[in-house]
Chains A and B, each alone.
Chain A
């Protein structure tokens, strides 16, 4: 590696980006250390998450270089792989749920696929990697968060209220009737972030996606409408994911009309 090459590399966009990432990571780590003084132990988890996040984004950047110049159907494969990874991450916090990985994959896959396919069919999302991958990944990531939240809340509420659930069953309720209050709570709580994003759009925040569109010369009004569509898509995907996840947990929690998760 020559000194001349190194001098040139230091001035590239990638090198500048890496330096900026180090500064931002240092800030995040400082916050975690600050939390330590309040007995909030997040230091190692934050350090690992930052290192992983940067590594993953570097890897995805390299994949994108290859993907964005490839055939459109490659993006379908990439989104499928993202769904599989999202399911693996979503199940980590809810391992007590039987068959959790498949439940998460079903919920995230259904929620994301329904919206991505419909939006691609109606040409809201162009069928090319440049549009499919970033937009699809946003939808999948939000579905993953929704899925985790639904399962975590539903499982903890059911455990906390096992007596009430059994009391309802003993009165002749079906599993769906007995679990309904907790399914409703879990679903609506998990959808609050997406709903808040939709409500506060343009007032409290402007999605980062808009900046990119404006920089590439899009009409500002069209950009605004497109941002609305993206956030609405995320909400729709999260909604489907939440419903499928809640239904799936309900199936897992009961066997032959008896509560099996306590």
Chain B
């Protein structure tokens, strides 16, 4: 089997787990750093077309769980499955393209909006067509912004560019890590609109971490609560929390 960008993907049946029908599944994820437990145990199930929100108090480990899903951090224990394939068997760059992430800070690269949005495809030697770029920017409410320097953007605009930049990779799963926490109320609502459009566009699934319960209710179909490093998902039958 070949992935869309030509990289070899997994065919070994020992690392596949067919039959769950889930887009993304995390089982018994644990993360320890320098002897400190960051994530005690996290279980999560995401179906195609579903938006799941993770809420909970600060320091509960919400963002840390997201970073384990696209292997920005490596779990100490537990496994993640993407379309029933063990994520650790998927080449890490391919996994990160398929499980896209928008961070709390926009972290835009110096340059224009177009350069930022086309960054992901350019890594694979793909030049993004102007029409596709414009359409993507229109999706996040930034039509006509392609040539602008990112240094002059507001916080909300920067976060929407960050969203468009992630969408340019055509991810199957979209991870959103507190995408509006650094914004004022007006900008938050505009970004939420962009997020809704992005979720529709992804046609896969979306996991959003937010400390705002109202935002979770507005954007997600299911809300999970994380406390003291423990995340349970009632949609999963086997989630044995110690």
Contacts and interface: CB of A to CB of B under 8 A. Distances in A.
Contact of A171 (B74, B110, B120): B120
A170 B93 contact: no
B123 A172 contact: yes
B126 to A, nearest CB: 11
A169 B96 contact: yes
A163 B106 CA distance: 9
Interface residues of B, number: 26
A257 interface: yes
Contact of B169 (A169, A171, A256): A171
Contacts of B97: 171-172
Contacts of B93: 172-174, 257
A91 B169 CA distance: 40
Contact of A172 (B96, B103, B110, B162): B96
A258 B74 contact: yes
Interface string A156-197: 000000011011111111100100010000000000000000
B103 A163 contact: yes
Contacts, number: 58
B166 A171 contact: yes
Interface in B94-147: 94, 96-97, 100-101, 103, 105, 107-110, 119-120, 123-124
A170 B100 contact: yes
B73 interface: yes
A258 B109 contact: no
B123 A164 contact: no
A172 B97 CA distance: 5
A168 B109 contact: yes
Given A163-B103, A166-B107, A171 B119 contact: yes
A164 B92 contact: no
Contacts of B94: 172
B222 interface: no
Q: Which are the 10 A-B pairs with shortest beta-carbon distances?
A: A167-B107, A172-B97, A163-B107, A171-B120, A170-B101, A172-B93, A257-B92, A164-B107, A172-B96, A163-B105
Interface of B: 70-74, 92-94, 96-97, 100-101, 103, 105, 107-110, 119-120, 123-124, 162, 165-166, 169
Interface of A: 163-164, 166-174, 177, 181, 256-258
9 contacts: A164-B107, A164-B109, A169-B72, A171-B96, A171-B165, A172-B96, A172-B97, A172-B123, A256-B74
